[in-house]
Structure 1
Amino acid sequence: MLDAAEINRVLVVTAHPDDVDFGSAGTIALFTERGVEVTYCVVTDGDAGGFDRELDNTGMAELRRAEQRAAAKAVGVEDVRFLGYRDGTVVHSLDLRRDIARAIRQVRPDLLMTHSPERNYQAISPSHPDHRAVGGAAIDAVYPDARNPYAFPELLRDEGLEAWTVREVWLSGGPTPNHYVDITDTIDRKLAALQSHVSQVGHIEGFADFARGRWSQMASAAGFGEGRYAEAFQVVPTA
Structure 2
Amino acid sequence: MAGTIARLTSDGVEVSYCLVTSGDAGGDSSTLNYEERARLRESEQGAAAAEVGVRDLSFLKYPDGRVEVTLDLRRDIARVIRRWRPDLVLTQNPERNWERIFASHPDHTAAGEATLRAVYPDARNPHAFPELLSEGLEPHVVPEVWVGGSVNGFAVDITDTIDRKIAALRRHESQVSGRDDLEEMVRGWAAATGELAGLAPGRFAEGFRRVITA
TM band (smaller chain): over 0.9
Q: Secondary structure at the match of 2:41?
A: helix
Distance in 1 of aligned mates of 2:149 and 2:25: 21
Q: 1:161 aligns with which of 118, 125, 137?
A: 137
Asked if 2 retains the 8 angstrom alpha-carbon contact of 1:50 and 1:199, the reply is no
Count, aligned residues: 214
Percent identity between the two aligned chains: 56
Deviation at 1:177, TM superposition (A): 3.0
Q: Secondary structure at the match of 2:160?
A: helix
Deviation at 1:50, TM superposition (A): 4.1
Aligned to 1:128: 105
Aligned to 2:124: 147
Asked if 2 retains the 8 angstrom alpha-carbon contact of 1:27 and 1:181, the reply is yes
Q: Secondary structure at the match of 1:37?
A: coil
Q: 2:10 aligns with which of 27, 33, 36?
A: 33
Q: Secondary structure at the match of 1:227?
A: coil
Asked if 2 retains the 8 angstrom alpha-carbon contact of 1:168 and 1:238, the reply is yes
Q: 1:184 aligns with which of 139, 159, 178?
A: 159
What are the ranges of 5 or more consecutive residues in structure 2 without an aligned counterpart?
none
Deviation digits for residues 27-77 of structure 1, max 9, x if unmatched?
001110111110100000001114233212211111110000000000100
Deviation digits for residues 129-181 of structure 1, max 9, x if unmatched?
11111111111100110001111011011x1000000001111135x530100
Distance in 2 of aligned mates of 1:119 and 1:238: 22
Aligned to 2:50: 73
Aligned to 1:171: 147
TM-score by length of 1: 0.87
Structure 2 counterpart of 1:236, which letter? Answer: V
Deviation digits for residues 104-131 of structure 1, max 9, x if unmatched?
0000001111111111212211211111
Q: Secondary structure at the match of 1:231?
A: strand
Distance in 2 of aligned mates of 1:177 and 1:38: 25
Asked if 2 retains the 8 angstrom alpha-carbon contact of 1:40 and 1:79, the reply is yes
Q: Secondary structure at the match of 2:161?
A: helix
What are the ranges of 5 or more consecutive residues in structure 1 without an aligned counterpart?
1-23
Tell me if 1:224 matches 2:210: no
Structure 1 counterpart of 2:143, which letter? Answer: R
Distance in 1 of aligned mates of 2:53 and 2:109: 27
Aligned to 2:168: 193
Structure 2 counterpart of 1:191, which letter? Answer: I
